[in-house]
């Protein structure tokens, strides 16, 4: 199976390499993840495994989830994601995926998918890096506003605002992927991955770590 695992962001620290340079690392607690379901070309039209991470409280589960997990000889999981596979997997339903997978395959770079920190409703300066208006020269109560959002009836757009026009609105709390982060080390005993640089989301946020698609 190609290297992929679910986990939780723990926080950041630094480590030193042999040359003595400091490397900023994010610690991700990953796995062990039960394989809840295996999807195959014949039955589903594509190859994938469904992984779970962290047992859910029984009071937070439904009968459907319990039944689904029981077939994998497991219990309902807090965080469940499907991993698309290129080749059919050699693992069985109910097997555990651990960080050892990354070590066995000698993975050097990973992609990390997470949910970014929510910023709430934000204006255009923070959300889209607009410049805002002048601090003086007669500007009144409009120092952080967007300015014009399009003229009426021009360039065939009619009397309406162009779709996708950057405006104020909700920022953050969306799926974010950071690609090609170096995997500094794998801690089998504690189920930890040390990833150089940043990982999206707050501490304690769930993340998916996969072998880098375009590197290594």
Partner 1 sequence: MRNRLIEGVEKDRMRKSALQFDIGDTVSVGVKIIEGNKERVQPFIGTVIARKGGGLNETFTVRRIVNNEGVERTFPMQSPRIAGVEVVRHGKVRRAKLYYLRERVGKARKLRERRAAADEGVTDSAPAEGAPVRSRRPAAEPEAVATV
Q: Which residues bind partner 1 (CB under 8 A)?
A: 10-11, 13-16, 18-20, 22, 27, 29, 187, 190, 192, 194, 203
DSSP string over 78-104: EEEEEEE-SS--SPPTTPEE-THHHHH
Peptide bond into 32 cis (omega under 30): yes
Q: How far apart, in whole angstroms, are the C-alpha atoms of residue 132 and residue 81?
A: 40
Closest approach, Cβ 146 to partner 1, in A, equals 40
Q: Is 7 exposed, middle or buried (0-12, 13-18, 19+ CB in 10 A)?
A: buried
Considering beta carbons, is residue 131 or 204 the nearer one to partner 1? 204
Closest approach, Cβ 13 to partner 1, in A, equals 5
For the CA atoms of the chain, what is the radius of gyration?
Answer: 23
Considering beta carbons, is residue 19 or 135 the nearer one to partner 1? 19
Closest approach, Cβ 83 to partner 1, in A, equals 24
Contact 116, 176 (CB under 8 A): yes
Considering beta carbons, is residue 38 or 183 the nearer one to partner 1? 183
Considering beta carbons, is residue 27 or 72 the nearer one to partner 1? 27
Closest approach, Cβ 191 to partner 1, in A, equals 9
């Amino acid at each position: 199976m190609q290297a992929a695992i679910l986990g939780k962001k723990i926080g950041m620290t630094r480590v030193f390499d042999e040359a003595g340079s400091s490397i900023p690392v994010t610690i991700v607690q990953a796995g062990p993840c039960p394989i809840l379901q295996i999807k195959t070309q014949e039955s589903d039209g594509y190859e994938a495994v469904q992984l779970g991470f962290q047992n859910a409280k029984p009071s937070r589960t439904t009968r459907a989830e319990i039944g689904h997990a029981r077939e994998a000889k497991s219990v309902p999981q807090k965080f469940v994601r499907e991993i698309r596979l290129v080749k059919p997997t050699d693992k069985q339903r109910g097997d555990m995926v651990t960080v050892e997978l990354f070590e066995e395959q000698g993975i050097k770079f990973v992609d990390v998918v997470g949910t970014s920190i929510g910023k709430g409703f934000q204006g255009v300066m923070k959300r889209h890096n607009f410049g805002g208006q002048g601090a003086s020269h007669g500007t009144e109560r409009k120092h952080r506003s967007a300015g014009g959002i399009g003229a009426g009836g021009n360039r065939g757009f009619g009397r309406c605002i162009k779709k996708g026009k950057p405006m104020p609105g909700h920022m953050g709390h969306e799926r974010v992927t950071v690609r090609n982060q170096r995997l500094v080390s794998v801690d089998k005993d504690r189920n930890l991955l040390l990833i150089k640089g940043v990982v999206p989301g707050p501490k304690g946020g769930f993340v998916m770590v996969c072998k880098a698609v375009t590197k290594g």
